[in-house]
């Protein structure tokens, strides 16, 4: 491979990696709230502000206790907020 061609491919690879990492950062949204209710059958949780969250399969319901303050990271698909991760907050 010629040096000029190699530099071009290196630049394109760098650009692709940079844009790809920016997409990952923008992929999930965060929200803080207090759990109002949990429906284990539907795998949904309702926050105090009326936000309905849908829990992805494999995500534990343990932190979704009524009255607990939580921070969730979710992605929005088909008009639903699908929780990817959750943690308890103070």
Is the Cβ–Cβ distance between 68 and 53 less than 8 Å? no
Tell me the pTM. 0.67
What confidence tens digit (pLDDT) does each residue in 2-13 have?
666 666 667 656
Q: What is the CATH number of domain 29-88?
A: 2.40.50.320
Radius of gyration of the CA atoms of the chain, in A: 20
Count other C-beta atoms under 10 Å from residue 74's C-beta.
Answer: 21
Please count the helices (runs of H) and the strands (runs of E) in the chain.
Answer: 1, 5
Residues lower than pLDDT 70 in the chain: 1-9, 11-27
């Amino acid at each position: 491979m010629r040096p000029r061609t190699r530099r071009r491919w290196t630049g394109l690879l760098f650009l692709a990696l940079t844009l790809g990492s920016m997409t990952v950062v923008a992929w999930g949204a965060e929200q803080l709230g207090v759990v109002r209710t949990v429906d284990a059958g539907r795998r949904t949780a309702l926050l105090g502000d009326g936000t309905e969250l849908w829990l992805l399969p494999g995500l534990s319901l343990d932190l979704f206790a009524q009255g607990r303050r939580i921070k969730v990271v979710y992605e929005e698909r088909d008009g639903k907020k699908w929780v990817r991760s959750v943690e308890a907050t103070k």
